[in-house]
Structure 1
Amino acid sequence: MGVEQESRVAIVTGGSRGIGRETATRLAQEGYAVVVNYAGNTAEADSAVEALRRSGGRAIAVRADVADETAVASLFDTAEAEFGGIDVLVHAAGIMPVSPLVDLDLSVLDQVLRTNIRGTFVVDQQAARRLRPGGAIINFSSSITRFARPGYIAYGASKGAVEAITLILARELRGRDVTVNAIAPGPTETALFFDGKSEELVQRITNESPLERLGQPSDIAGIVAFLAGPGRWINGQVVYANGGAV
């Protein structure tokens, strides 16, 4: 236990790398106890938690497949047992295979739908049942829903569903004092973004933003921290964070 009742607690899915890891770091800096959820890379998750603890944060790592309702229920059970309750869910876990529709293997589509849509539904369902008053659910969509970039059809379709879940859930939680929003990042400097892209393509995407740079994970983590804390009058919204590219 060891955490005072007034301390806020956050679960960050996909919290061992990329935007999720940066978000976990930012929330820990703001005094949250953080549960770092990860899918399979234990060493990476342990490294993230160790870094948070070295900086004075309180954190644990919990493995769970976000689309498995039993594993996700156990994730929330562990968070409650360790820290006394849950205030914020940041659902950053997701997968992003790239293929045009005509070439997309339907087994890959099934995997995208399972992880990105079912995973959001399963994780949000537990959060809706368990978050304390004053809490926040923060899902992750993508600016790809506006960019309509060829090759991202399965990913874009899944993120459109995430936005629908977000907007409707916000209204279903009337009277609970829990906000529900989604962040839709544009191109952001993560391993997921760079995977499979040529230097020329990366530069072309970089130049799409009027700010002429890629997003940083810290840019997105700052928005998460705002929605989790002081930005409580923002509810039932999708926040596009792409430097003005669209």
Structure 2
Amino acid sequence: MTRYLFLALLSGLAGQAAQAQTVAPGESAATFATVRGWDVFTITDGDKITACRALKGDGADELIFGYDRGWSLIVPSKLSGDTAAASLWVDAVKDDRQVSIAAGFATLELTEIERSAIMKGSEMDLQIGDGPRQTFLLEGTTAALLKAQDCFDGQTGSAAPGPDATTPITGENLGMAYFKDGRFRQRVDGSWVEEDANGIANVYDETERDADSVYLQNTGNGDKVSIDTKTMLISKQESDGTWTTLYQVTGLDQYISPRAG
């Protein structure tokens, strides 16, 4: 991932005309597109395109997503030092992370799981060190991230390998199911976890898959749960064999490797 050591000047570009702007010795930024309230820029070093970034907001509320065949989340920071502990929440699901600090900005390198959650989510919170927990609305992030990726891949001709975004999610390739304030996530060992704002709430073994659904069993209390990609429902099997809806599914994703345990 590119170190974002020259963002202080880039932050002043939002809303300006599409022309190259010097952001560091040898670096320049040019407007690529504006989409859903986000400004997308091409970053170049001489004749070489090094990254594309989507920017929204200003001052302490500024939020930047960078793409250079990998994803970064970038925010202003007054911290000193090279790194700091951080916590990232997407729709109340928490991940403990670390950020790099440089030139008045903090950079968090996003996993594919986090990138997918941000594109599907509605709200993100970030806390760096002992600082305040800051909330960002994720309106337009799907369009912004897709445009930033299109900006880089389209101009460099080098798309990153990964799941095909056009592949429909079915019971056969399901690896993640989102619901309000939580998600079910498959782990590397094939087991599943249910996560909410407090972290891992339940652990499940996968017992069966078919074309539409994945069936799970709670390793603690034995409860049986199904995730149906057709009805978009997560349901629990009652003692009489009937199924009761637990959650409405808000988003689906494939198995993305590697996954955190």
As a proportion of its length, which structure holds more strand? Answer: 2
Query: What TM-score results when the alignment is normalised by the length of structure 2?
Result: 0.25
Bigger CA radius of gyration: 2
As a proportion of its length, which structure holds more helix? Answer: 1
